[in-house]
Amino acid sequence: MKRAIPFFKVGDIVWGQIEEQVSDEYLIVSFDGDLVRVQNKTGQTLKKGDRISLQVTQISPLHLTLHTSSKTKI
């Protein structure tokens, strides 16, 4: 954790960019240079370069939810 992640608070809406698709289920997402491996539980096809909006739901360990009306976890 370098720049952005230490400042996340529960309820924050944050934008990330997909840097790499590790597998069908796991992605590497950049938050202003901080790289985080995330599990995609949405069933959505996400690819490198996509920008996604996430809501911080827990800090330690970090949990993020895809910010949509369906509240699908990612």
pLDDT digit string (tens) for 24-36? 889 999 998 899 9
**Is the residue at 53 inside a domain?**
yes
CATH at 40: 2.30.30
User: Which stretches in the chain have pLDDT values below 50?
Assistant: 1, 69-72
Q: Alpha-carbon torsion 9, 15, 20, 24, what sign?
A: positive
The number of domains in the chain is 1
Residue 9: the pLDDT is 94
28 vs 26: CA distance, rounded Å: 7
**Is the residue at 74 inside a domain?**
no
Q: How many of the other CB atoms lie within 10 Å of CB of 74?
A: 21
**Owning domain of residue 52:** 5-66
Query: What residue type is 2 in one-letter code?
Result: K
Q: Does residue 64 contact residue 53 with C-beta atoms inside 8 Å?
A: no
**Is the residue at 73 inside a domain?**
no
